[in-house]
Amino acid sequence: MQRTHRVVAEVAVGTGPEAVAVDAKARRAYVACSRANAVVAVDLDSCATLWRADVGREPIPVILDLPARRLFTADARSDTVTVLDARSGERLARIDVGEGAYPAGLGHDPVLRRVFCGNTAAGTITAIDADRLTVVGTVPAEVGAGSIAVDSRRGRGYCANFLAGSLTVFDTAALRPLDRIAVGEGPCKAVVNPVTDHLYVAGSLHSKVLRLSLETGELLDELAVEQAPVGICCSPDGSRLYVCNRGAGTVSALEAGSGLETHRILVGNGPGDCAIDAVTGRLLVSNAGSDTLTLVDSPWLPGPEAPAAHPAEGRALPAFALPDARTGAVRTSREWAEKKYVINFFASW
């Protein structure tokens, strides 16, 4: 079955948009603009910007804590996590994660009410109380700690250590490391799919997405995509996976179960991450190289089947002769050879 998609809008949001979070019910998207040191709110229906809020320097990820309607950014060059009111953009807190930590990744456990920050230079994970907005502990990881995925059902977190080529598995309640999983160079983003019970890891240096079992931690397979995959999201029903190929300016659409790439979506330059609007099914992509947010309409829906070609298509016009309706004289197709003409077929019954 052929698949199709349609780009709905390209919204200018500011310099270096690296990440996007969606509140489908409130009809808003939130974009972290790393070079503008800001978060921008976008109306999902009108595609208009609603507000812009200053945060720390170089906000790379942004996550939405839906129960409290709060936004969290990890501000890499300020060594802070900034907290905003998602409704107004008002700054609620700025949380220090340690001098020289370079926080570049975030994870969220809405059940435990915790936000986890991956500190790239420090090789640690900072745990933050999502309600009190205070640091509650630190977990040792490895150099390059960044993106964090949370398996709330098992109480486990997975921190992608970009430089160490590994995942740090940790207990999200006790805040202690449980395991180390080697995944090769350059793991950039980790995402949990609770429907398939899989963990997906974007291997940006080898243009692959690794699929692991959440139950055992076993590497199941490697899914080939285009150049430098850095961002991933899953569809709400868990059936599809979308991978941002930073080096190619595309998003690969994969079947989550088989890993089969069904098609590729051309977006802006340097796509950093993506998210799904669960109400409309639209895919949102933050393009760090184009300073835009791309909205794509229903990229996983089946498209129309290509119509079958007629047997006469592409062949020379057959010779024919017909009487002229006005004069009765016989006219042949040879009279119009190598000429432009219009034939009007009319039938009456």
Higher pLDDT, 69 or 323: 69
State pLDDT tens for residues 218-239: 999 999 999 999 999 999 999 9
For residue 304, what pLDDT is reported?
Answer: 43
| One-letter-per-residue 3-state SS of 227-255 | CCEEEEEECCCCCEEEEEECCCCEEEEEE
Going along the chain from its start, the domains and CATH numbers come out as 6-297 (2.130.10.10)
Beta bridge partners of 286: 273, 293
What separation in angstroms does the CA of 223 have from each of 47, 219, 257?
33, 11, 11
Q: How far is CA 27 from the centre of its chain?
A: 17
For residue 346, what pLDDT is reported?
Answer: 54
Q: What is the CA radius of gyration of the chain?
A: 26
pLDDT score of 22 more than 70: yes
Mean residue pLDDT of the chain comes to 91
Query: Considering only CA atoms, which of 210, 221, 338, 287 is closest in space to residue 20?
Result: 287
For residue 349, what pLDDT is reported?
Answer: 41
State pLDDT tens for residues 26-62: 999 999 999 999 999 999 999 999 999 999 999 999 9
The span from the CA of 305 to the CA of 309, in Å, is 12
- pLDDT band per the 50, 70, 90 thresholds, residue 307: very low
For residue 222, what pLDDT is reported?
Answer: 94
For residue 87, what pLDDT is reported?
Answer: 97
State pLDDT tens for residues 157-197: 999 999 999 999 999 999 999 999 999 999 999 999 999 99
Query: Considering only CA atoms, which of 153, 154, 152, 156 is closest in space to residue 169?
Result: 156
- Pairing mode, strands 229-234 and 240-245: antiparallel
Helix (H, G, I), strand (E, B) or coil at 335: helix
What separation in angstroms does the CA of 289 have from each of 11, 60, 82, 275, 292?
13, 14, 24, 18, 8
Instruction: Identify the burial level of 25 via C-beta atoms within 10 angstroms of its C-beta, where 0-12 means exposed, 13-18 middle and 19 or more buried.
Output: exposed
Query: Considering only CA atoms, which of 183, 161, 181, 184 is closest in space to residue 169?
Result: 181
